[in-house]
């Protein structure tokens, strides 16, 4: 899973670089594939700085919590089989809760540091949550309703003949992508980080292993969200197979599908300028949330 996270970061960087007529990571490993790992190792070796006046406990616990939470969430995502590594009753809801909890760790890490930039970043992250959480939840839950259960395995199994994206769920997929983009703090919605405005927002006081953990957690989140989109809308790891070769083909299908989702997310991040916080909230409440609710109610009605 960790390898997958690093691979996804590399793919994201390489693809965006290609879209922008650049090269991207190149020197570490074949085609620069080890660059994310090298970045992590380098960050881990950096001097550990805790600014004066920091709430040290929160500051230390948040990065660890973030990584752990996302590991747990990722374990539920079906990758090599219809079921994930972990399986529980209603694991879709567990994942959604974890995504919210993860944002809480961001908020707490940002507000634990005394810097005004990080405080502003944390506040922005919290405000953004108001905007994109409902679309994220409802677009995923609608799929659950359509599948008749909130277990990812059930949802995936339901798509044996036809993935959900073919049909009315295309809107849900689009909504999910936009919300995921906001959740990942990728470009049109990188408001809490906003390098040119508040330096790096909530990340600014993090250093050494804390920064490494948070960056790694972002990669894990990338895997989680593209994996989740795959499971919810693209039929997870299933696809046409030659009997007996499922073990081999299913992971490949999963990779292909989730990487396509990743590419969509990366493409989205090259198309726009970062919008302002108030504009983001307006966008969400004026267009995205009504659309989500309409979609959700329509799904309920159909079911």
Partner 1 sequence: MRMLRDVLWNLFKGRATVMYPEERGSPPDNFRGRLGFNRDECIGCGLCHRVCPASAIEMENDGRGARPVFHIERCIYCYLCIEVCPTKAIKPGKEYAVVTSRKSDLVVR
Partner 2 sequence: MGVYIPVGPQHPIHPEAILLKLKVEGEQVVDADVDSSFVHRGIEKALEHKTWLQGLYLVERVCGICNVAHSTCYTLNVENLLGVEAPTRAQYLRLVVEELARIHSHMLWLGLLAHLIGFQSLFMLVFRDREKVLDLMEELTGNRITTAYNVVGGVRRDIDPALEHRVRSTLEELRGRVKRYRKLIEEDPSVRARTVNVGILERSEAEELHAVGPVARASGIKYDVRADDPYLVHDEVPFNVVTLETCDAWGRAMVRVEEVLESIDMIMYSLDHIPSGPIRKRVPPVFKVPPGEGIARVEAPRGELFHYAKSDGSERPYRYRMRTPTLANLAALVYMLRRGDRAVYVADVPVIFGSIDPCICCTARVFVLDERGSRVLNLEDLGRSRGR
Q: Which residues bind partner 1 (CB under 8 A)?
A: 18-23, 26, 267, 270-272
Residues of 102-112 as b/e, b for ≥16 C-beta within 10 angstroms?
bbbbbbbbbbb
Dist. CA 94–CA 89, nearest whole Å: 9
In whole angstroms, give the CA distance from residue 9 to residue 215.
10
The gap from C-alpha 202 to its chain's centroid, in whole angstroms, comes to 17
Minimum distance from CB of 47 to partner 1 (Å)?
Answer: 27
Window 145-204: residues binding partner 2 (CB under 8 A): 187-188, 190-191, 194-199
Does the footprint of partner 2 cover residue 279 (CB under 8 A)? yes
Quick one: what does residue 18 bind among partner 1, partner 2, none, with the CB cut-off 5 to 8 Å set by partner type? partner 1
CB of 36 or CB of 121, closer to partner 2: 121
* Shortest separation between residue 124's beta carbon and partner 1, angstroms: 24
Whole-number Å distance between alpha carbons of 179 and 265: 10
Check binding of 220 to partner 2 (CB under 8 A): no
User: With respect to partner 2, which residue has the nearer C-beta, 3 or 273?
Assistant: 273
Alpha-carbon distance of 85 to 237, in angstroms, equals 13
Candidate residues 206, 274, 284, 296; the one interacting with partner 2 per rule CB under 8 A? 274
**Residues 66 and 213: beta-carbon distance below 8 Å:** yes
Residue 121 Cβ vs partner 2, minimum distance, rounded to whole Å: 11
Site string for partner 2, 110-129 (x = CB under 8 A): ------xx--x---x-----
Question: Residues, the chain, total?
Answer: 303
- Please write down the HEC assignment for all residues of 47-67: CCCCCCCCCHHHHHHHHHHHH
Nearest approach, Cβ of residue 118 and partner 2 (Å): 12
Of 3 and 271, nearer to partner 1 (C-beta) is 271
Is residue 276 involved in binding partner 2 (CB under 8 A)? yes
Per CB under 8 A, 291 contacts partner 2? no
Among partner 2, partner 1, none, what binds residue 198 when CB lies within 5 to 8 Å by partner kind? partner 2
Given the complex with partner 2, which of 52 and 161 has the nearer CB atom? 52
Binding at 267: pick from partner 2, partner 1, none (beta carbon under 5-8 Å per type): partner 1
List b or e across 230-255, with b for residues whose CB sees 16 or more CB atoms inside 10 angstroms. Answer: bbbbbbbbbbeeeeeebeebbeebbb
Binding site for partner 2 (CB under 8 A): 16, 19-22, 116-117, 120, 124, 187-188, 190-191, 194-199, 269-279
């Amino acid at each position: 899973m960790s390898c997958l996270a690093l691979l996804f970061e590399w793919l994201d960087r390489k693809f965006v670089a290609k879209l922008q007529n650049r090269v991207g990571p190149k020197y570490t490993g074949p085609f620069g594939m080890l660059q994310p790992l090298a970045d992590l190792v380098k960050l881990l070796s950096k001097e550990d700085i805790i600014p004066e006046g920091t709430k040290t406990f929160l500051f230390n616990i948040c990065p660890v919590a973030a990584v752990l939470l996302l590991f747990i969430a990722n374990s539920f995502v079906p990758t090599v089989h219809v079921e994930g590594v972990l399986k529980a009753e209603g694991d879709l809801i567990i994942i959604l809760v974890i995504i919210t909890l993860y944002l809480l760790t961001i908020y707490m890490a940002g507000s634990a540091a005394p810097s005004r930039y990080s405080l502003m970043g944390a506040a922005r992250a919290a405000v953004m949550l108001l905007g994109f959480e409902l679309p994220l939840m409802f677009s995923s839950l609608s799929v659950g309703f359509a599948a008749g259960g909130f277990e990812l395995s059930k949802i995936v199994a339901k798509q044996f003949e036809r993935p959900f994206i073919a049909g009315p769920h295309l809107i849900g997929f689009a909504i999910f992508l936009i919300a995921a983009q906001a959740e990942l703090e990728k470009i049109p919605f990188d408001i809490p980080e906003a390098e040119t405005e508040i330096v790096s927002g909530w990340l600014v006081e993090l250093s050494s292993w804390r920064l490494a953990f948070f960056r790694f957690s972002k990669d894990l989140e990338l895997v989680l969200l593209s994996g989740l989109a795959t499971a919810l809308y693209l039929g997870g790891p299933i696809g046409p197979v030659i009997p007996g070769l499922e073990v081999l083909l299913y992971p490949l299908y999963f990779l292909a599908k989730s990487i396509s989702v990743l590419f969509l997310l990366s493409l989205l991040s090259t198309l726009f300028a970062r919008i302002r916080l108030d504009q983001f909230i307006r966008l969400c409440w004026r267009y995205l949330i009504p659309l989500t609710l309409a979609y959700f109610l329509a799904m309920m009605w159909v079911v």
